[in-house]
Amino acid sequence: MTDLTLAYHDAMRAALAEARAAGEAGDVPVGAVVLDEAGTVIGAGHNDRERTGDPTGHAEIVAMRAAAAVRGEWRLSGCTLVVTLEPCTMCAGAAVQARIDRIVYGAVDLKGGAVGSLWDVVRDRRLNHRPEVVAEVMADECAAPLIEFFSTRRVR
């Protein structure tokens, strides 16, 4: 474990609390927080697709929207997105578009991850912005709620 991964444990615990809220609401337990340059949480969210019927209701999108509202602008330069599951293509693309400086994620998503597993959207040299990636922070703790959720439910 590096000092860099240790630095994000508190933020990942906050994201895990968001993930638990998603699971309790019957949604896939993924949570995210956005940190400003000082490391303060300025946006938080969890998967909310079931309640809202919104296909873009992923934890990362919800958290980035909240952070943008706090900042009063769409640019999240200097910010870090901390999420319990490796972002999908939509969320990775949104992080690039928002100019997020760093993406920190927990569990790897071999079926839909777009930050190095299945695809690598954020490191594509053709894009004008490429966030730093810190992978597998508290990976086992982040995978546990997902494993439990899917072991008790049938995927639609």
Q: How far apart are the C-alpha atoms of 56 and 61, rounded to whole Å?
A: 7
The response to whether 88 counts as a known ligand-binding position is yes
Active site residue 60: yes
| Residue whose pair of structure tokens reads 């309790």 in the numeric block | 24
The response to whether 9 counts as a known ligand-binding position is no
The response to whether 91 counts as a known ligand-binding position is yes
Q: How far apart are the C-alpha atoms of 143 and 136, rounded to whole Å?
A: 10
Q: How far apart are the C-alpha atoms of 145 and 107, rounded to whole Å?
A: 10
Q: How far apart are the C-alpha atoms of 124 and 9, rounded to whole Å?
A: 27
Among 18, 37, 60, 132, the one annotated catalytic: 60
Residue numbers belonging to the annotated binding site for Zn(2+): 58, 88, 91
Residue numbers belonging to the annotated binding site: 58, 88, 91
Q: Which residues are the active-site residues?
A: 60
